[in-house]
Structure 1
């Protein structure tokens, strides 16, 4: 559940854990804006319980939000999610499924369920300010997730890969734009320079190199490989733990770096040798299993972009 919460809250500009004494009903908070609690925010109330979240617990936890918001501690959250491995009891499921019924239940049952549980040794009455907070809160924003729901949630996939050897599957194929993109500029510029050095001429621009009978097709192939690697990165960045992609790239780097450092007839010969070597490298792990030759070769162009393994020295 901790891995899921960490991944889920990456969508926010900032996150904060408030769990513990004085948390004011907050657990894992995702701030939507830099204004933090003065702007929109979401609350994830994570309960590591051996049983289902009870009706009383659900009312008290959400009641804390109303109490502290009414006291001016923070704005009402935009979204509120109960995260409990065993799920929530049926009555809570029914309330979440009927938002206006849930709202009315807070008004009707405050004294019975909520008031005695908010502050130790105190009974918190349903003040006009709390009543107003309940009236303003969007009960359609209340959700719950159990272990099964977490397993099906896209943000849980990296945790499943890490802890249960879940197979994230193959990355989608890359799509190569017709026109060169800014992100490709470094390696393309280097390649065009090497083509020119081999031909003893200077290509005016990308289109001139693309029209070359000897190296135009080669340039097209390199762009295809680059975008295969880019699609691979995007997919596994979202579906595996962060270190998986970094480890894959480190394995590939060490598999080709000695070839890159070797003596070559010219810069283009270096490119061809490194790409050939990359096709033979077999990085460990699930990413190595799914990395086809174009992905590994395209990753070498990423290295050239970064200056890690430049094509032109």
Structure 2
């Protein structure tokens, strides 16, 4: 039964879904549409959060509200910094064994209208019912006919009905007035096939359902001009070449006179940008933090080699780059699309972050 509380909602900020517990995608070959049927309600809400967060770029922020005192909102997508005082969309996640019925919808709509009437939040722009088995035929038909849906809802909260008895006279009057002036076209039901099709385009899908990672595009050559973001690792390479040549003033321009070092430098720059392309791929294709964990894992795999004694920086660099190609990365999902050049490039990313130095 809906229970309209008097306490305004205070949402918990959530910048992005936490993907640390999604696993490595090595589960049994169970189709995604079957897996979601066995989700706990919390897992279902997390799945809906991933879908809403990743696909609706018009949102300023997406928050998961579900839980005790959620006031009828599981996931909220905000279109302005004003949160519930501005324009927003409501996602009502219902993990039921059966398709949603009008009775289920009426109870949730009543709860939402009650909180809007109490000015706990503004009327949502859109209200989505999201359930594994979707809306049943009767509810789907009503959603397709907003005027009839409104009439049926008002009848469901008429005097003497079970829903009407859950509110006092004052609140019931406010809800009826609000419902009568609301366009019921705001209500819709999202079907599972649509959810999964959209979710498959997100950075969470392969991790959650154990599918293959999206194909990675070919790596472009490094830009002709040097970027400020390259400054640290390039300086570390120049220190290697200065040590080898004995020229303390050697720079990128004078490096042109040293064919062997120039060829080496060009290879390292290609490797850096290969790893940079991997980082950008990870930003769009896998959960947040995945690339950072790969970098940390490679760092752990080469640091002992890097801290050994060498006669010069070139030998230290060579030893680290060789070790990087041999580090076991089986626990890192990105290993599927990570090549030797990416691994060597990550070493230069570490140098760029001052986590690796070649000349001691």
Q: Under a length normalisation based on structure 2, what TM-score does the superposition of the two structures give? A: 0.71
Q: Decide whether aligned partners of structure 1 residues 67 and 187 sit closer, same or farther in structure 2, where only a CA change above 3 A counts.
A: same
Contact 1:226 1:297 in 2 (8 A): yes
Contact 2:154 2:176 in 1 (8 A): no
Q: Does 1:54 align with 2:54?
A: no
Aligned residue for 1:277?
A: 323
Aligned residue for 2:37?
A: none
| Offset of residue 243 of structure 1 | 6.3
Instruction: Write the distance in 2 (CA, Å) between the matches of 1:171 and 1:118.
Output: 56
Q: Please, which of 48, 57, 68 is the counterpart of residue 5 of structure 1?
A: 48
Q: Please, which of 75, 84, 109 is the counterpart of residue 131 of structure 2?
A: 84
Q: Does 1:19 align with 2:67?
A: yes
| Offset of residue 74 of structure 1 | 1.2
Instruction: Tell me which of the two structures has the higher relative contact order, counting C-alpha pairs closer than 8 angstroms and 6 or more residues apart.
Output: 2
Structure 1 unaligned segments of length 5 or more: list them. none
Structure 2 unaligned segments of length 5 or more: list them. 1-43, 55-59
Q: Decide whether aligned partners of structure 1 residues 74 and 121 sit closer, same or farther in structure 2, where only a CA change above 3 A counts.
A: closer
- As a proportion of its length, which structure holds more helix? 1
What does 1:31-46 correspond to in 2, within 5 Å? 31-46=78-93
Instruction: Write the distance in 1 (CA, Å) between the matches of 2:279 and 2:111.
Output: 42
Q: Decide whether aligned partners of structure 1 residues 192 and 7 sit closer, same or farther in structure 2, where only a CA change above 3 A counts.
A: farther
Instruction: Write the distance in 1 (CA, Å) between the matches of 2:254 and 2:81.
Output: 47
What does 1:1-313 correspond to in 2, within 5 Å? 1-8=44-51, 10=53, 12-13=60-61, 15-20=63-68, 22-94=69-141, 96=143, 98=144, 101-102=145-146, 104-113=147-156, 116=161, 117=163, 120=166, 124-125=172-173, 127-132=176-181, 134-135=182-183, 139=186, 142-146=188-192, 148-154=193-199, 160-162=205-207, 164-175=209-220, 176-202=222-248, 206-209=252-255, 212-242=258-288, 244-285=290-331, 286-313=333-360
| Offset of residue 106 of structure 1 | 4.1
Q: Under a length normalisation based on structure 1, what TM-score does the superposition of the two structures give? A: 0.80
| Offset of residue 282 of structure 1 | 3.1
| Aligned residues: CA RMSD | 3.3
Tell me, what secondary structure is at the counterpart of 1:77? coil
Contact 2:49 2:62 in 1 (8 A): no
Q: Decide whether aligned partners of structure 1 residues 107 and 52 sit closer, same or farther in structure 2, where only a CA change above 3 A counts.
A: closer
Tell me, what secondary structure is at the counterpart of 1:29? strand
Contact 2:142 2:149 in 1 (8 A): no
Contact 1:43 1:81 in 2 (8 A): yes
Misfit runs of 4+, over 6 Å: none
